[in-house]
Chain A
């Protein structure tokens, strides 16, 4: 057990903090939001140069050979600036699927391209009717003429609009809620029969509705074993939870700093509002919640490499609940302590608030994960 950063980790966080400090002010971010693709292409290239896009991948594939802790630290830095680039979608979600399920040819082709900043991916799993149920897959892939034909639709696919390739889950056997019979496919986003409709989520980050109409795939589009993708999908989502939890912790840090600053400077009744004990105690409660979230994001990170699937799932659910509840408290309290200014779109607090809100409703919300935990109680 050691909570200190290694020298490499310190260098990583310092260089990312410098880059984002220069390039990711609230105003700069606003400009990115205003025009397609909704994030910065030049920064994406810089992330590649810094080795961030290859962070969790093996050095053999042009990666950095980092682990979950490195990703956690990076995501925390991203969270402090509400970074918009498709890191979660490409490196964390799709990257995890490729690492866990890709064959040598697939990894050799795609991972170096990701690391070089030349390939963006999206993980297209959730469907409109599924809500948070990971087994609820209706999209189908039928074996035909030595390849596959893909039919169906995916919903709220993070960064699905600008991805070059899509990792799409589809049913190759079984019925609606069966864990068995789901397979993953690598699909070119420009392939005939793929339709994409992009939009912004409530926090400004991008997502898309995707549909697949008689999309023909070659045999080698299959990622991992036929019918056996579900455990991979679960692990991809777990990696997504750990990474986005860390991101939200970074956001909460920024939100707390901003709120403290406001409490110390905003004058009412002839003195800073932070001299009121009622507000001081709410600020202290924000800190307590932030520390809880930080601890639980660490837990999520720590268990990603836990071999026991049940233990891992349980810890991830604990973490999602802990971070989700804390994020809700911290972001709501931040708005309240700011008063009117916190309600305005031109002030940063509301943007952090909306990021936390979107986080809570990705990968299973608090009620969903509490329910899973409750199911598992012995």
Chain B
């Protein structure tokens, strides 16, 4: 047991950090520092810069264009990218459909989709959840009926993040409604979002933004060559996707950036006649979050290195611990940032800005995204398997209850 980073790992962190510093477009950096979410063009531009460097498909095997990094290097890379802060790689492309196609795809599917996914030429979205199938995913009902060399898809997906940006959707559909077990009649299909019969309707979330969608499929014809893996074996593909390396699940870099941000703004605002940063209660709160962040960082290292030791085969049930602690920290750190903003975090400057795009902001730049970030992150303990589901997983997989 040696708990120190090796000199190579330290040098690697420095390499990543300086590459991001030198190549992240200044406008993107500044907007993100102020807490804005990256726009679609900003996300695409940054992923292409990383891809040109050979880093975008950071977790893919070398033969498919990955950089061939160790698990620790991958973790360092993600953390540096998040805490820069720079736009996240589109996870649907990089950590979901990419590894799935590498594992289950035909040669044709790999050739056709992988390079475009890495370069974000195709924007992917995930068609899993349905109105009646959230945490209980296997109860999904969207139907795909084989007709000649097509599947005809009918049904509805919900909570589909960024479907309105997407070119493609990887979808779980029911191909055998008669299967003895619900899990056995499900298939994994790739659906072109431009196919007639696909309709995307926005869901505006409590932060006022359009991130989520409903997606309706009405007699959507999908060529059979877009099936991934075997028909009715899609559950295995989905399980692989969900259990795949979840290095980034805690999104620690975002929390670290938020804590930093809270301290920065706390120098500018006052409490009882003194800078807020000098307030004891505030400092204790920061200290607590910094402790949580440090614990998470080490936990992440442990999970990552155990995963690497298992040859990348065995998903660690402790990634559920990462999910729980990581999302709690995301929520608590965004809450701190909002509280630092105080009353100035409350006006919906954002809508104001959108309505009069030529006017300067009526409030300070730093205040605009505080409440939206806090609001949006209430979803963190819901998505990706609610934190209660994670506890069920721990009970079953680790505790044997």
Contact = CB atoms under 8 A, between A and B. Distances in A.
Interface of A: 1-6, 9, 69, 73, 260, 263-264, 274-275, 277, 280-281, 283-285, 287-288, 291-292, 294-296, 298-299, 301-302, 315, 318, 321-322, 370-371, 373-375, 377-378
A288 B305 contact: no
Contact of A260 (B9, B392, B401): B401
Contacts of B263: 377-378
22 contacts: A1-B9, A3-B305, A4-B1, A4-B309, A69-B1, A260-B400, A260-B401, A280-B392, A280-B395, A284-B392, A284-B399, A285-B391, A287-B321, A287-B399, A295-B295, A295-B299, A298-B3, A321-B288, A370-B287, A371-B284, A374-B283, A377-B286
State the main secondary structure of chain A at its contact with B.
helix
Contacts of A274: 401
Contacts of A283: 395, 399, 401
B400 A264 contact: yes
A136 B109 CA distance: 71
A292 B283 contact: no
B330 to A, nearest CB: 15
B321 A1 contact: no
A72 to B, nearest CB: 8
Contacts of B277: 377
A1 B72 contact: yes
Contact of B388 (A281, A375, A377, A378): A281
A291 B3 contact: no
Contacts of B231: none
Interface of B: 1-6, 9, 72, 263, 277, 280, 283-284, 286-288, 290-291, 294-295, 298-299, 301-302, 305-306, 309, 318, 321, 324-325, 388, 390-392, 394-395, 398-401
Nearest to B9: A1
Contact of A299 (B2, B294, B306, B388): B294
Given A283-B395, A302-B4, A373 B291 contact: yes
A374 B318 CA distance: 30
B3 A1 contact: yes
A114 to B, nearest CB: 24
A377 B294 contact: no
Nearest to B390: A284
A3 B390 CA distance: 24
A329 to B, nearest CB: 13
A302 B291 CA distance: 16
B287 A299 contact: no
A373 B290 contact: yes
A280 B397 CA distance: 12
A298 B295 CA distance: 10
A320 to B, nearest CB: 9
**Interface SS majority for chain B:** helix
Given A1-B6, A4-B1, A374 B286 contact: yes
Contacts of A375: 283
B401 A322 contact: no
A6 B3 CA distance: 13
A375 B394 CA distance: 37
Contact of A69 (B2, B291, B295): B2
A1 B72 CA distance: 8
A284 B2 CA distance: 28
Contacts of A9: 1
A296 B298 contact: yes
Contact of B2 (A1, A73, A285): A1
Contacts of A1: 2-6, 9, 72, 301, 305
Nearest to B301: A1
Given A1-B3, A373-B291, 6 more contacts: A2-B305, A275-B401, A287-B398, A287-B399, A288-B325, A292-B295
B284 A3 contact: no
A376 to B, nearest CB: 8
B72, B295, B298, B321 — most chain A CB neighbours (10 Å): B295
A275 B392 CA distance: 11
Nearest to B5: A1
Q: Top 4 nearest A-B pairs by Cβ distance?
A: A374-B283, A373-B287, A284-B391, A295-B298
A73 B1 CA distance: 10
A315 B298 CA distance: 12
Contacts of A4: 1, 309
Given A281-B391, A285-B391, A370-B284, A2 B290 contact: no
A324 to B, nearest CB: 10
A117 B299 CA distance: 37
A370 B391 contact: no
Contacts of A301: 3
Contacts of A281: 388, 391, 395
Contacts of B321: 287-288, 291
B385 to A, nearest CB: 13
Contacts of A321: 287-288, 291
A302 B3 contact: yes
Nearest to B285: A374
B287 A377 contact: yes
Nearest to B328: A288
Nearest to B280: A374
